[in-house]
């Protein structure tokens, strides 16, 4: 059997398929099946998200410098964890060897390809959103920012406070969906094919444009399950992240043919 560490060479760009809500159901079932077949890999890669979330919360009570450093580093590491989940699904799909050395080797080899550029894009996007969120907060809260909000939560129950929360959520939702559109198929595409990250992102956006309802539902499912999984000290991500990661691979395979 051909070693799956060898990435396919440049190939013609795939066509964008017409998706239905049934494709989401298929992707989720396939993602759950992949996790059951290789739970050790799912738990390993999802632990990156769990530990990252716990450390960020812990450092939030510490120095601003360390919190900022960790927050900047996480978007650069997270795509590699996602690639690990995609690689596991790819090997299950092709009946490849489920070997730790080879799978981690594929993840490591991505540092010399296009994934780091995606990590950089995500980082820049995150920095923009962080700056915009602080601007919105300052715009609506004014002199209220001088208070210790950790012990004066009533400031958020004022008219300005509630308006600020609403605007933050609305703007955050729009920006999150834009990032979703840029990455929903581009990350698995970059793993499987020799394609530049700009082309991969443009194809990803095209998938969303051609299937707006299906992609909106998928984005809502991803966001809803992720938020719910964060409630028990991020531990729910140990299950949710690998299932969603594997499911994303299967949805990608149906979206680009």
The reported pLDDT for the residue numbered 34 is 98
Query: Mind listing the pLDDT tens digit for each residue in 74-85?
Result: 565 678 889 999
The mean pLDDT of the chain is 84
Among 19, 49, 51, smallest CA distance to 252 is for: 19
Is it the case that residue 18 has pLDDT exceeding 90?
Answer: yes
Highest mean pLDDT among 41-55, 58-72, 201-215 belongs to 201-215
3-state secondary structure 38-60: CHHHHHHHHHHHHHHHHHHHHHH
Indicate the pTM of the whole model. 0.84
| Beta bridge partners of residue 256, listed in sequence order | 16
Q: Which residue has the tokens 């979703």?
A: 180
Q: Which residue has the higher pLDDT, 55 or 257?
A: 257
For residues 188, 193, 195, 196, the Cα torsion angle rounded to the nearest 10 degrees is: 40
Residue 2 — very low, low, confident or very high, per pLDDT cuts 50/70/90?
Answer: very low
What are 147's two structure tokens?
């208070």
Apex CA 187: angle with CA 184 and CA 192, to 5°? Answer: 125
């Amino acid at each position: 059997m051909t070693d799956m560490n060898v990435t396919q060479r440049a190939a013609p760009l795939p066509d964008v398929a017409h998706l239905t809500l049934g494709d989401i159901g298929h992707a989720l079932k396939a993602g759950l099946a992949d996790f059951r077949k290789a739970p050790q890999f799912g738990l390993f890669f999802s632990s990156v998200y769990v530990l990252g979330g716990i450390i960020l919360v812990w450092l939030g009570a510490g120095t601003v410098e360390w919190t900022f450093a960790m927050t900047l580093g996480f978007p650069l590491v997270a795509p590699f964890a996602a690639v690990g989940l995609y690689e596991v699904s790819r090997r299950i799909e092709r009946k490849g060897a489920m070997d730790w050395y080879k799978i981690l080797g594929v993840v490591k080899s991505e540092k010399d390809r296009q994934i780091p550029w995606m990590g950089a894009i995500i980082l820049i996007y995150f920095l923009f959103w962080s700056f915009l969120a602080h601007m919105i907060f300052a715009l609506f809260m004014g002199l209220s920012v001088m208070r210790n909000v950790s012990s004066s939560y009533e400031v958020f129950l004022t008219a300005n406070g509630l308006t600020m929360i609403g605007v933050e959520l609305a703007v955050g939702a729009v920006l999150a969906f834009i990032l979703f559109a840029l990455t929903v198929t581009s990350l698995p595409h970059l793993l499987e094919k020799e394609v530049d990250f700009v082309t991969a992102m443009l194809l990803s956006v095209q998938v969303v444009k051609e299937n707006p309802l299906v992609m909106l539902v998928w984005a809502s499912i991803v966001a809803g399950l992720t938020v719910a999984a964060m409630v028990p000290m991020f531990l729910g991500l140990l299950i949710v992240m690998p299932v969603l990661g594997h499911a994303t691979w299967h949805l990608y395979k149906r979206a680009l043919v």
